[in-house]
Amino acid sequence: MSRSFRVGPGGRLSGRLRVPGDKSISHRAVMLGAIAEGTTRISGFLSGADAISTMNVFRALGVRLEGPVDDGVTVHGVGLHGLRAASVVLDCGNAGTAMRLLMGLLAGQRFASTLVGDESLTKRPMRRVAEPLQRMGARIETNAGCPPVRVLPSDGLHAIRYELPMASAQLKSALLLAGLYADGETVVVEPAPTRDHTERMLRAFGVDVRSDGPVVSLRGGQALRATTVDVPADLSSAAFFLVGASIAPGSDLLLEHVGINPTRIGCLEILRRMGADIEVVAQRQAGGEPVADLRVRSAPLHGIEIPHELVPLAIDEFPALFVAACCAEGRTVVRGAEELRVKESDRIAAMAEGLAALGFVTRPTADGIVIDGRGGDDAVFRAGRGAAHHDHRIAMSLAIAALRSSGVVEVDDTTNVATSFPGFVASARGAGLDIDEIGA
Ligand code: S3P
């Protein structure tokens, strides 16, 4: 059944909150654990639909997994060559990360696999991954560049050097995973830095991965050794609260144990440049990743031109950042963010439409958006009903806009919030948002 949110206007956010585990890291922990030798224990796992899809794919490929129980998962690794042909299609649900990384991992297997996804995933581009994998010798078929993706049995991959045509951690990761099965050294060159969780986690599993500026490389055939993975809270989920507390006067919120990997913190930098009051407290390391508590207090925001280099480092947080921009004094300009158009939805169009439904007109462009913020402490949105377009991040972004609305905000099609943020409604209520879920 389709769900929706009903969010009462105004309020402030306070207290402390630990948002669910990092989605990118949870997917990778299952994948690397599955092809490692030995038993990998994961804590802080994202027990959300996307990461569960990845677990189920590996179960179908013959890997024994236990959990999640209290956000803990145990993966009984089968080794680099231990995966078995699945007797079913591999359903990635809504998870682009699962499908793209799996394409790389499955490209070097001696059996065939078929990857499918939900309505949103079925529209997303897969050629960007299929093409370089084909250059490595993989045999991959797509439906005009989109899922379903058929990966045919491999007779061996060879390493390539590949310059990524776009900044994409999923593409980089797919090629590195395929590189584990290739003869020689796979070299990937990034046009701009993207999240480096795959590189960090491969190292934690004992693989020699070299990073030299934009160049990442690894030799094929290296065995992975099981390890423990402590997954930090997802900064991308924390972002809704960073924005919410920034725009709602009187807010003071502590977000606990959040991953602050330097390749992910574009949203922190952008919010700070807009005037946000975010304090990074008790910085520490967890499982090869930097982690901290984030204290955010409301502050007057001002519009900025988002620096180009911060775009890939904040790519998943733009829907929430657009809400911040509406509440900021002056103009915010986003450029070079065309990748937003091929996420779980076209996030530029979906947010422009959703904000317009709340009475706020923005100017979308081909590769970004221009937002003339209203500033001040008064309501900048009005009562309205927005559609999430099957996209978890659109749903949560429109929900937090209610903090600065003069009337009730309703959001339709919120079922997919569970892909990345199970328990969002309870967490948001606990922090002070007047939110109810309807149709649950
Ligand atoms: C991800 C990479 C990004 C991001 C996605 C997760 C990952 O996608 O938007 O939510 O885990 O590697 P792209 O690689 O398409 O930029």
Share above pLDDT 70 across residues of the chain, in percent, rounded to a whole number: 100
Is pLDDT above 90 for 287? no
Residues 375 and 289 in one domain: yes
Instruction: Please report, as a single letter, which amino acid is at residue 124.
Output: R
Residues 180 and 306 in one domain: no
What's the CATH number where 75 sits? 3.65.10.10
Residues 211 and 256 in one domain: no
Final residue before a domain boundary, out of 206, 230, 254 = 230
Residues 226 and 364 in one domain: no
Contact in structure between 53 and 101 (CB atoms under 8 Å): no
Count of domains forming the chain: 2
Kindly indicate the confidence band of residue 139, based on its pLDDT and cuts at 50, 70 and 90: very high
- 304-337 exposure pattern, b = at least 16 Cβ within 10 A, e = fewer: bebeeebbbbbbbbbbbbbbbbbbbeeebebbbb
Q: Which of 66, 58, 60, 54 is nearest to 27 (CA)?
A: 54
Q: In residues, how long is the chain? A: 440
Residues 76 and 203 in one domain: yes
Average pLDDT over residues 52-66: 98
332-382 confidence digits (pLDDT tens):
999 999 999 999 999 999 999 999 999 999 999 999 999 999 999 999 999
- Answer yes or no: 367 catalytic: no
CA dist., res. 8 & res. 325, Å (int): 21
Average pLDDT over residues 270-298: 96
C-alpha 136 – ligand 1 centre gap (Å)? 22
Return mean pLDDT, the chain: 97
**Active-site residue (options: 22, 196, 230, 316):** 316
Q: Which of 355, 281, 293, 283 is nearest to 318 (CA)?
A: 355
Residues 111 and 250 in one domain: no
Final residue before a domain boundary, out of 175, 200, 230 = 230
The separation between the first and the last C-alpha atoms of the chain, rounded to the nearest angstrom, is: 8
Residues 330 and 379 in one domain: yes
Is pLDDT above 70 for 440? no
Is pLDDT above 80 for 1? no
What's the token pair of residue 393? 């991040």
Residues 217 and 275 in one domain: no
Specify the range with the lowest mean pLDDT, choosing from 37-41, 175-179, 286-290, 381-385. Answer: 286-290
Residues 175 and 192 in one domain: yes
* pTM for the whole structure: 0.98
Q: Which atom of ligand 1 is nearest to the CA of 23?
A: 11
Final residue before a domain boundary, out of 230, 264, 285 = 230
Residues 425 and 379 in one domain: yes
Average pLDDT over residues 61-83: 98
C-alpha 100 – ligand 1 centre gap (Å)? 9
Residues 293 and 368 in one domain: yes
Residues 354 and 236 in one domain: yes
120-134 confidence digits (pLDDT tens):
999 999 999 999 999
pLDDT computed for residue 202 by the predictor: 98
Q: Which atom of ligand 1 is nearest to the CA of 169?
A: 14
Which range of residues forms the domain containing residue 149?
23-230
For ligand 1, whether the C-beta of 170 sits within 6 Å is yes
HEC string for 308-351: HHHCHHHHHHHHHHHHHHHHCEEEEEECCCHHHHHCCCCHHHHH
pLDDT computed for residue 188 by the predictor: 98
